[in-house]
Structure 1
Amino acid sequence: MNTSSDRLSSEGGLFSQPKAVWAVAFACVISFMGMGLVDPILPAISNQLHASGSQVSLLFSSYTLVTGLMMLITGFISSRIGPKRTMIVGIAFIIAFSAFAGMSGSVWEIVGFRGGWGLGNALFIATALTAIVGLSTGGTAKAIILYEAALGLGISVGPLLGGELGSISWRGPFFGVSVLMSFAFIAILALLPRIPKPKARISIADPFKALKYPGLLTLGIVALFYNFGFFTLLAYTPLVMELGIHQLGYVFFGWGVALAITSVIGAPKLAQSMGAVRALRLMLLCFALDLAAMGVWHDSKTALVILVIVAGLFLGVVNTLLTTVVMGAAPVERSVASASYNFVRFVGGAIGPWLANKLHEWFDSVQLPFYFGAFIVILGIVVTWLGRRALSGVDTSGGH
């Protein structure tokens, strides 16, 4: 029986993939741009639309909350209209709502349209992972690494594009995503073959039923705590660094590049050498210490820049390890496991950015949100210990 470490290090050509896989991967890159795209323009939106930090942070909260909630229906929809149509509908939502966000006149309009964007994102990304795994050559592990590489590339390019377009207008990055996602729409339409529907239709209740498996539930809770810290970094740090739009774009570009590299290279090596779960604990600890260090040196721009980029090294490994072990955490369809896991974890992504900025406003403390984020990530490590019996099964699962 293969371990998750073996799956991550299995032989097979990562880049020898059908055109359809590259079309989906390209669309993933553009979709994931939406996560970091708004980082460089958060201060500009706050200043020009007279919004507080907690209000601006809702651009992340509405996006991730709707994404998480809608994950519950992605399998239901996909099993009825097919994965390809589900992805196309999701991309169409992203194109429309990113353009609407660019035309907004208030921060509350952007928050609302980001929620619609999250709906499209949910329909697309859950189905995209299933499509890449199903169509790729080289096995599940290589497909997941390719997916995470697309995630890392999108996250890294997003802030860079956001900085360049945002220097013209804060509306530019939103329109940029709409245009780029239109190209992805055409690529998926032309290159992706019809993917058969699942033999059994998935009900809305199936993702909830999947959470009865201890391994999947434990990983979801770990990812919830992790995402809290992840989005504290993503949505709070740009507002306290006091850098220009271009500078923020370059900083988070470096962060995203670090994330992309370790998601492809670092995760397989660590999983092979020490096991996926132990490697996950180590990287979560490093991330928590990184957040705490941001709190200690919050008044140094240089220190914050370095710590943000270094954080990307840890986050890339965590993302890949979590996605890999989740695929074997429960004897259910991959799409159902993904929906359950993403529903739980995105709750942390929704709460994290808003609460981080609220803590800053309530206590007039720059460092407190960093310390609190580190504490929440530590709770994720505690959960891996409390659920170690369930995770021992995940670490020796051969997938399904």
Structure 2
Amino acid sequence: MTSSPMTSDSYAERWKMLALISLGFVAMTLNWFDIAPAFDAIGTEFHTDISTTAFLISLFLLGYGIAHVPGGMLATRIGMKRTLVLGLGLEGVADSVSGLCRNYPELAVDRVVAGVGASVFIAVGFGAVSVWFEHHETTVALGLADGAAFSVGAAAGLYLWSYLDAALGWRVALPLAGVLAVSTAVVIAVGFRTPAEKKTLGGAAITLDGLRESLGNRQLWIYGVTLLGAYGA
């Protein structure tokens, strides 16, 4: 009989995996929101008005939106852990080199790439938590990762990074957040694993039957519409 994560892995191991993914959520949202405190400095340097500068947030969301489905397919093909590391690493690298951008178009492209990385990470971020938990613990774990950790990263990007921008300048503060994301990706690469009995999470072939089953899943569409409403709000 196949054992569940609750019986085959220790209690401490599950919460260790949650801690690693939660760190990933903090780093992901930090590199999402850290651009906002730099708007004034970027606008002054690149001679853009506030609406044009603020459009950098929308460009991040453009990359974030278009990569969700490809990110999920990538996870199926190369496995959950590699996808987590690749997504967060890509976002971190994009923010790490943002300080080298010579003009607004270069920074705009950089933000789209960062959004793609964040999307790839979050495409399996929820799953990376839920595969380790069952029943009521799943709700608690997802609340800590998607709720608390997500909010901590956003708050750090909006508030803490305003002080770093003032002290170091945006060309140093943004790459600093990027380095933190890359470092977190390395930590996840070293420490994260999926439950031993869930072998398909290490990578599997993408089939038409699998795609049909996913696209025909009623609960999936309900979840998607709910998220659309939440992000819209």
TM-score (norm 1): 0.48
Alignment partner of 1:135: what SS? coil
Alignment partner of 1:193: what SS? coil
Asked if the contact 1:80–1:197 (Cα under 8 Å) also holds between the matched residues in 2, the reply is no
Q: Aligned to 2:139, which of 138, 141, 156?
A: 141
Unpaired segments of 5 or more residues in structure 1? 1-14, 230-400
Q: Which deviations, in whole Å up to 9, do the C-alpha atoms of 1:106-136 show, x marking residues without a partner? A: 1221110011111111111121211111124
Q: Which deviations, in whole Å up to 9, do the C-alpha atoms of 1:295-347 show, x marking residues without a partner? A: xxxxxxxxxxxxxxxxxxxxxxxxxxxxxxxxxxxxxxxxxxxxxxxxxxxxx
Q: Which deviations, in whole Å up to 9, do the C-alpha atoms of 1:122-164 show, x marking residues without a partner? A: 1111212111111246532112111211101111111123212
Q: Following the alignment from structure 1 to structure 2, what is the Cα–Cα distance between the partners of residues 106 and 209?
A: 45
Report the counterpart of residue 165 of structure 1 in structure 2.
Answer: 164
Which stretch shifts more, 125-134 or 17-26? Answer: 17-26
Asked if the contact 2:79–2:204 (Cα under 8 Å) also holds between the matched residues in 1, the reply is no
Q: Which deviations, in whole Å up to 9, do the C-alpha atoms of 1:154-190 show, x marking residues without a partner? A: 1111112321221121223321112211321221122
Q: Following the alignment from structure 1 to structure 2, what is the Cα–Cα distance between the partners of residues 204 and 70?
A: 20
Q: Aligned to 2:70, which of 73, 96, 105?
A: 73
Alignment partner of 2:38: what SS? helix
Q: Following the alignment from structure 2 to structure 1, what is the Cα–Cα distance between the partners of residues 150 and 25?
A: 7
Asked if the contact 2:32–2:115 (Cα under 8 Å) also holds between the matched residues in 1, the reply is no
Alignment of 1:263-282 (within 5 A): none
- Counterpart residue identity of residue 157, structure 1: A
Q: Report how far residue 224 of structure 1 moved.
A: 3.5
Q: Aligned to 1:126, which of 123, 128, 138?
A: 123
Residue 177 (1) aligns with residue 177 (2): yes
Question: How many aligned positions are there?
Answer: 215
Unpaired segments of 5 or more residues in structure 2? 1-11
Q: Which deviations, in whole Å up to 9, do the C-alpha atoms of 1:6-45 show, x marking residues without a partner? A: xxxxxxxxx9953222111112111111232122111221
Q: Following the alignment from structure 1 to structure 2, what is the Cα–Cα distance between the partners of residues 143 and 177?
A: 25
Q: Which deviations, in whole Å up to 9, do the C-alpha atoms of 1:34-93 show, x marking residues without a partner? A: 232122111221122111223212211121111111111122111111100111111221
Q: Following the alignment from structure 1 to structure 2, what is the Cα–Cα distance between the partners of residues 203 and 63?
A: 30
Q: Which deviations, in whole Å up to 9, do the C-alpha atoms of 1:327-373 show, x marking residues without a partner? A: xxxxxxxxxxxxxxxxxxxxxxxxxxxxxxxxxxxxxxxxxxxxxxx
Quote the sequence identity (%). Answer: 22
Distance 1:142 1:179, change over 3 A: same
Alignment of 1:33-52 (within 5 A): 33-52=30-49
Report the counterpart of residue 11 of structure 1 in structure 2.
Answer: none
Distance 1:65 1:22, change over 3 A: same
Alignment of 1:221-240 (within 5 A): 221=225, 223-229=227-233
Q: Report how far residue 222 of structure 1 moved.
A: 5.3
Q: Following the alignment from structure 1 to structure 2, what is the Cα–Cα distance between the partners of residues 97 and 21?
A: 25
Q: Aligned to 2:54, which of 50, 53, 57?
A: 57
- Counterpart residue identity of residue 134, structure 1: V
Report the counterpart of residue 197 of structure 1 in structure 2.
Answer: 200
The Cα RMSD (Å) is 2.8
- Counterpart residue identity of residue 111, structure 1: A
Q: Report how far residue 220 of structure 1 moved.
A: 3.8
Which stretch shifts more, 98-107 or 192-201? Answer: 192-201
Q: Which has the larger radius of gyration?
A: 1
Report the counterpart of residue 155 of structure 1 in structure 2.
Answer: 154
Asked if the contact 1:83–1:197 (Cα under 8 Å) also holds between the matched residues in 2, the reply is no
- Counterpart residue identity of residue 139, structure 2: A
Q: Following the alignment from structure 2 to structure 1, what is the Cα–Cα distance between the partners of residues 117 and 178?
A: 12
Asked if the contact 1:95–1:178 (Cα under 8 Å) also holds between the matched residues in 2, the reply is yes
Q: Which has the higher contact order (CA 8 A, sep 6+)?
A: 2
